[in-house]
């Protein structure tokens, strides 16, 4: 009986990779090569995204560090005032500020008291209020009872130019004429001069702003 053996058995040449790998092994090698290529691309993409993210954060930090342009606050209406918080949103040193009051283009200034009512009012500024001319002595805006916090009331004769708050109806008042009456009130401040502009006139829209005390 004769046996025919493959010639490769008697060959002295080393078997190549092609000889060793079966078709299935070749397929696995291709998949492994493709996977390595995809991993390299993913790593390169991740590196690029990381660089972009770090650069973007750096730019954002620079923008955050740079001082923002100072813009004037918009003047609120009475409706906005009623919806606003009743305390100043930021600490205010009352000794360094005063009120700027504008009506019909005329500007007046007023020194202010240091109390909770004043702090709450300052927190609403700048503010325009429709004020009624009442009793031939005062300009009045009604917040309504509890409109501003009330503490430290006094009862004595007012002075022309006084700005006061009357708690029972939440009345914010500028007194422009004296009639000798005494009533309970909280002192807001006092207008230096020019309050006579209200005498003999009708209702007015009055704008209140907070300015540095040394500003003219």
User: Considering only CA atoms, which of 20, 120, 126, 130 is closest in space to residue 73?
Assistant: 126
pTM over 0.85: no
Q: In the CATH hierarchy, which fold is given to the domain comprising 78-212?
A: Cyclophilin (2.40.100)
Domain boundaries, the chain: 14-63, 78-212
pLDDT digits (tens, 9 = 90+) for 17-57: 444 445 555 666 666 677 777 777 777 777 766 655 555 54
Which 8-state DSSP code applies to residue 76? B
Which has more confidence, 102 or 58? 102
Does residue 126 have a cis bond before it (omega within 30 degrees)? Answer: yes
Buried/exposed 115-135: b ≥16 CB within 10 Å, e otherwise = bbbbbbbbbbbbbbbebebee
Is residue 213 scored above 60 in pLDDT? Answer: yes
Three-state SS at 103: strand
CB 112 within 8 A of CB 98: yes
CB 148 within 8 A of CB 172: yes
């Amino acid at each position: 009986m004769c046996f025919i053996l493959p010639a490769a058995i008697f060959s002295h040449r080393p078997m190549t990779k092609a000889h060793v790998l079966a078709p299935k092994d070749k397929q696995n090698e291709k998949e492994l090569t493709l996977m390595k290529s995809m991993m390299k691309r993913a790593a390169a993409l991740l590196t690029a995204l990381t660089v972009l993210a770090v650069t973007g954060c750096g730019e954002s930090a620079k923008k955050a560090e740079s001082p923002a342009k100072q813009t004037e606050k918009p003047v609120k209406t009475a409706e906005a005032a009623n919806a606003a918080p009743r305390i100043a949103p930021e600490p205010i040193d009352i000794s360094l500020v005063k009120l700027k009051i504008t009506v019909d283009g005329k500007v007046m200034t007023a020194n202010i008291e240091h109390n909770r009512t004043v702090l709450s009012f300052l927190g609403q500024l700048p503010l325009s209020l429709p004020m009624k001319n009442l009793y031939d002595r005062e300009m009045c805006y009604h917040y309504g009872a509890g409109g501003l916090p009330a503490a430290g009331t006094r009862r004595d004769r007012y002075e022309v130019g006084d700005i006061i708050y009357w708690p029972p109806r939440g009345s914010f008042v500028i007194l422009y004429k004296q009639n000798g009456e005494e009533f309970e009130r909280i002192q807001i401040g006092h207008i230096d001069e020019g309050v006579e502009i209200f005498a003999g006139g009708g209702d007015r829209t009055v704008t209140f702003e907070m300015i540095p005390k040394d500003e003219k």
